[in-house]
Amino acid sequence: MVWEKRFSLYLSDVPQHRASWASPAVDPETGNIYMFTVAAQLVCVSPDGKVLWDRPLTEEYGAVTTHGGRTTSPIIEGDKVILNTLILAWGDLNRPGNRYFAFDKKTGQTIWVSSPQSRHYDTNYSTPVVGTIDGTRALIVGGTDGVYHALKVNTGEKIWSIEVSKRAILNSALFKDNVAYITHGEENIDTTEMGMIAAVDAARTGVLAADAFKWRTRGFLPTFASPVMDTERLYTMDNGAIVGAFDLKTGAKLWEKTLGTLQKGSPVLADGKLYIGTENGKFYILRPTATGVETLDEDLLGSPQSPEPIVASPIVADGRVYVTSMDAMYAIGKRVPRKGGPAAALAVPASTAAPAVVQVFPYEALLAPGQTVPLKARLFDAKGNFIREDTAPQWSVDQVNGTVDAKGVYTSGREASAGFVKATVGTLSGTARVRVIEALPLTFDFENAASEAPPAWWVGAPTKVVQRTVENVGKVLMRPRDETVGRRAKVFFGPPTMAGFTIEADVRGREQRRQRGDVGLINERYGLVLFGNGQKLELHPWQAADEMTARVDFKWDADKWYRMKLRVDHQKDGTARVRGKVWPADGAEPDAWTIEKIDSIPHVMGSPGIYADGISDVYFDNVKVYRNQ
């Protein structure tokens, strides 16, 4: 082993056995590694293992992770890192939905966020593929809405979409000569027959209909595996470990071969051979032809009594084949190091066409009062190709406090706010999203709320919590009862780099239909949660990891106010001392802490926030965040 780097998981429902879902991406230009964790944290690591930057999307964009663990693998395209995830943020990202992100690969700054989906069925892990469609650099990706989307790589603008299923798409597409080859293993839109392999005219635009298909073949179910192709045929795997070959021109199934009974990983095509691992623990090397397939090698990893499941796809690099099972990693063949150093990024000449898009970079900024951020106005043509940076746009602010000068330097105001900085070039304009958050201490008593909407700079709050008046109490923050799968809320109101603070709040829960909701606080990615039905208090470093959780029985009554307090102290030995207490809000604070945990692998920073499971109405009031005293 050359080096090993471990990352904390937090604020995630993904259990440990699903904690390593997405694959890392390596930048061929720099050798930097980009990984996206099941805690929705995007991390850039240098070739020698140094963390260069990270973006905690849960705290910055309200990213939502689920028990299933599905997480998209990032890709590198030019100067960008691209991925997608389910979020509920703020401003124009104020509804739950799957969004597509492009980040600057060197700095981690946001370049664009795209929202082509109108619905969300389930999380997915379709990895985008990139190609050039009639002069437009485009990415094609399967959505969580049962739709394949094509977006302009440089701007995130939608090119086309085509709906194929009422379930999330897990597969990646293929692209060649303006044709997109797409697959899925779910129910089709226009028939109850399951599964589809199809060729789509990728040169079209807009919402595509059935006439965009060059051909469709139904009945083969590649739910999990993504296809590969050579010059004549497409190859893919169905759920039962059956490999099939399909003609690229007609879609006709040419042959199939059974390799096992369970399949998750995708095949890899290299040197005219297919490399395939099955969940039954067998690894195959096959030579495909137009009429059938020859088995060149077949190996069982592990033993017949205890086979090693293979759920990852093989890797082919430098003459070797690498296979990862659930138990081990194997290297096959002699390694032949490639000549030369890292691949240099190809220089793309600037477009001379007329501007069609103004892109403000960075697209997202989080500042303290009085801080500044320099913004640039980039111009792109109708095909999404870069033209130039404009040197004299008209700058203005919208909703956010502060000012922006003629050079595009935004200076934040004194009070917390959220909104946009706009750059206008002729009749075109683009915006950057900006939040301003005051330094500690923070206090929220909700008495001056002008509307039910939560503070605009809070993340994860829209549609989840509202400010309302409660009889004999006044104005409070409420998580209304919600029986949907999205009833839980994590709301953040500070930078993700905060450390060494205490958060406290008054909380109350109701009983409705014999159900009690849960209520809690978040401090540096630790959660302190009062469970209504369970009548217990828990302290979570990572809620899904039960053995890390500290818990005590705690009886608390419905319709009664309690005070909760959560503090994190970082100790000289590298551990964190995490303490919580709860007491009746009308009584004196006890000296003793109700629950405590010494965390030997601690979180070191994180935003303050609140947590609620709205199976019944729950309330917050008198929220305070302050430096440890």
Q: Are residues 409 and 556 in the same domain?
A: no
Residues 556 and 591 in one domain: yes
427 & 518 share domain: no
Look up the CATH number of the domain holding residue 529: 2.60.120.560
β-pair type (158-163, 206-207): parallel
Looking at the domain assignment, is residue 62 inside a domain? Answer: yes
Tell me: do 540 and 467 sit in the same domain: yes
CA neighbours closer than 13 Å in the CB half-sphere of residue 138? 30
Give the model confidence (pLDDT) of 461-485 as tens digits: 999 999 999 888 899 999 999 988 8
The residue among 418, 436, 454 that closes a domain is 436
What's the pLDDT score for residue 361? Answer: 98
Q: Evaluate whether residue 124 is within a structural domain.
A: no
Q: Which residue has the tokens 């597969």?
A: 171
Residue 148 vs residues 121, 141, 169, 243, 428: alpha-carbon distances, Å: 14, 6, 8, 23, 29
Q: Does one domain contain both 376 and 412?
A: yes
Q: What is the pLDDT of residues 517-554, one digit of tens each?
A: 999 999 999 999 999 999 999 999 999 999 999 999 99
Both tokens of residue 36? 């996206």
**CATH of residue 65:** 2.40.10.480
Banded model confidence at residue 70, pLDDT cuts 50, 70, 90:
very high
Structural domain of 48: 1-115
**Residue-level pLDDT at 277:** 97
How far apart CA 407 and CA 412 sit, in angstroms, is: 15
Asked if pLDDT for residue 343 goes beyond 80, the answer is: no
Burial 514-542 (b: 16+ CB within 10 A, else e): eebbbbbbbbbbbbbbbbbeeebbbbbbb
382 lies in the same domain as 517 = no
Task: Tell whether 471 is covered by a domain.
Answer: yes
pLDDT band at 345 (very low <50, low <70, confident <90, very high): low
pLDDT in the model for residue 347: 76
Q: What is the DSSP string of 36-96?
A: E-TT-EEEEE-TTS-EEEEEEHHHHH-----TT---PPPEEETTEEEEEEEE--SGGG-S-
- Same domain? 492 vs 573: yes
Rounded to 5 degrees, φ, ψ at 579 are -130, 140
Name the residue with higher pLDDT: 336 or 160: 160
Q: How far is 427 from 172, CA to CA, in rounded Å?
A: 38
Using the 3D structure, point to which of 410, 436, 462 is the last residue of a domain.
Answer: 436
**What is the structure's pLDDT at 99?**
97
Q: Choose the weakest-confidence range: 190-194, 222-226, 374-378, 405-409.
A: 190-194
Q: What is the CATH number of the domain that holds 397?
A: 2.60.40.10
Residues 453 and 564 in one domain: yes
Q: Is residue 241 part of a domain?
A: no
> Do both 398 and 493 map to the same domain?
no
My answer on whether 460 and 555 are in the same domain is yes
**Domain finish residue from 89, 115, 141:** 115
% residues pLDDT > 70 (the chain): 99
Q: Which residues pair with 242 in a beta bridge?
A: 258
Q: What is the mean pLDDT of residues 24-49?
A: 97
The one-letter amino acid at 22: A
Q: What percent of the chain has pLDDT over 90?
A: 93
Does some domain include residue 313? no
Which pLDDT value is given to residue 344?
A: 66
Count: domains in the chain? 3
Domain membership of residue 199 (yes or no) is no
The C-alpha atoms of residue 166 and residue 173 are separated, in whole angstroms, by 18
The mean pLDDT value for 193-203 works out to 97
Q: Are residues 483 and 377 in the same domain?
A: no
**Is residue 509 domain-resident?**
yes
How sure is the predictor about 342, in pLDDT bands with cuts at 50, 70 and 90? Answer: low
Across the range 165-185, mean pLDDT stands at 97
Provide the pLDDT for residue 472.
80
User: Which residues have CB under 8 Å from 355's CB, separation 6+?
Assistant: 379, 380, 381, 387, 425, 426, 428
Q: Is residue 83 part of a domain?
A: yes
pLDDT score of 450: 84
Same domain, 432 and 568: no
Query: Is pLDDT at 341 greater than 70 in this prediction?
Result: no
